[in-house]
Amino acid sequence: MTTPAAQAHYSTVDITLEDIGHGGIAIGRAEGKAILARFGLPGERVRVALTEERARFARGDVIEVLGDPSPYRQAHPWLEAGPGGVGGADLGHVVFDYQHEWKTRVLSSTLRRIGGQSLSDHLETQGIVPAVTALESDRASGGWASRTRIDVTVTSGRFGMFREGSREVLPITSMPLAVKEIAELGLWDGSYLTRLARSLGPLRDGQRVRILAPSASPVAVSLGGRTFDATGAESSPFVREEVRVGEENYRYRVRASGFWQVHREAPATLIDLVTRAAGAEPGDHILELYAGAGLLTVPLARAVGATGRVESLEGARTAVEDARANLRPYPWARARTATISVRDISDADILLADPPRSGLGIAAARAAAASRARRIVLVSCDPAALARDVAAMVESGRSVESMRAVDLFPNTHHFEVVTALR
């Protein structure tokens, strides 16, 4: 296999890949230096085009498999996101049924490497075997056509994305990660930009654009603080989402430019995992950190009822405005803007935190562990931050009750983990 995306000006190295690392990489060695290669699989003999060289390691993309390919390799369905191309599908070369095994290896090794042997021993004592599971709804499509939100950049009258590891914008002609409602907009042949220009005039290069397909309102396009519909006409800045979990139905109003989970099944999956982990009861007091627009706040408010209390904190003012709108039926739940720090960790029956990729941090994790919460629920999108934060809480006397990892980002190296501690 030789990829057409190989870039001739890069130097190359031939190596045997031996292991998997976090970040969608396979690892080999050359002349005593670790080679971190995207688009490879363990056991393969490959040629790597180097994109970055440091004293102790180098990064690059596999541009040719020199021997027999791994049985877990497939032709990448989106060549523009392959070697030398845009980011967004760094596991597209891995067959779907092996992607969650890849991520399980990353999760297990990161917990051991960052969390230390004591955390590994603790999890074993608790009977917890970390594993990343795939969503059954993704199996038929291989995880493609699952994203309800995509971010692109204008370049020379087209939409594009950043070349992996750079600020160079490459025009794209397809987006197989997106749901069909987005794919049908005519985004990649320039026709939608033509429609949009009737309202805005020509878009400047470098302008960021978000395209979204909400579950309960029409497709929308957000740019420059304004929102447009499929025809290019200006529309409401808000979209509607409905999430069904079992017999419960939750409704949300969300700013088109704001944060919402990108996988079509992610909202329901996270509500289910978090509410089970929290075990909230009527009358409970819940403190929620990094609450966003209230995706998890609404079901938790419903769970504790009018005799309970939910206090949600979020750093983004516009997200708090959305959360307040979503919480109007639940006056016992309150959302406020806060630059979240250790000072905001107060006593509650249940403490829930869904921090950004950087995680809670050791100081906040220790403060959470020292609180009087009977249960702490941590939602993590980075395994290294997860391992550090959970290890800090275990060292501070907490015990892990459960750890559920789910692949909400198929064909990428990302995944989500929900951990409950008592």
Measure the CA–CA gap between 274 and 270, rounded to whole angstroms. 6
Taking only the tens place, the pLDDT of each residue in 217-261 is 999 999 999 999 999 999 999 999 999 999 999 999 999 999 999
From 196, 270, 381, 408, the catalytic residue: 381
- Return the structure tokens found at 242: 């409905």
Beta strands in 213-358 (DSSP E): 220-223, 226-228, 238-245, 248-255, 285-289, 309-314, 333-337, 350-353
On whether both 166 and 29 belong to a single domain, the answer is: no
Last residue of a domain, one of 244, 274, 303: 244
Give the annotated binding-site residues.
261, 290, 314, 354
On whether both 187 and 65 belong to a single domain, the answer is: no
CATH assignment of the domain containing 59:
2.40.50.140
Q: Residue 87: what pLDDT?
A: 95
State how many domains the chain has.
3
- Domain contains 230: yes
Taking only the tens place, the pLDDT of each residue in 111-135 is 999 999 999 999 999 999 999 999 9
Last residue of a domain, one of 244, 278, 305: 244
Q: Residue 201: what pLDDT?
A: 84
Residues of the chain with confidence (pLDDT) below 50: 1-8
Last residue of a domain, one of 26, 53, 73: 73
DSSP string for residues in 3-35:
-TT--TTS-EEEEE--EEETTTEEEEEETTEEE
Q: What residues make up the domain containing 280?
A: 103-137+265-421
Give the annotated binding-site residues for S-adenosyl-L-methionine.
261, 290, 314, 354
On whether both 156 and 292 belong to a single domain, the answer is: no
pTM greater than 0.75 (yes/no): yes
Tell me, yes or no, if 134 is annotated catalytic: no
- Domain contains 343: yes
On whether both 277 and 193 belong to a single domain, the answer is: no
On whether both 274 and 388 belong to a single domain, the answer is: yes
- Domain contains 91: no
On whether both 131 and 180 belong to a single domain, the answer is: no
- Domain contains 86: no
- Domain contains 78: no
Number of continuous H segments (helices) and E segments (strands) in the chain: 8, 22
Q: Residue 195: what pLDDT?
A: 87
- Domain contains 93: no
CATH assignment of the domain containing 336:
3.40.50.150
On whether both 151 and 132 belong to a single domain, the answer is: no
On whether both 126 and 271 belong to a single domain, the answer is: yes
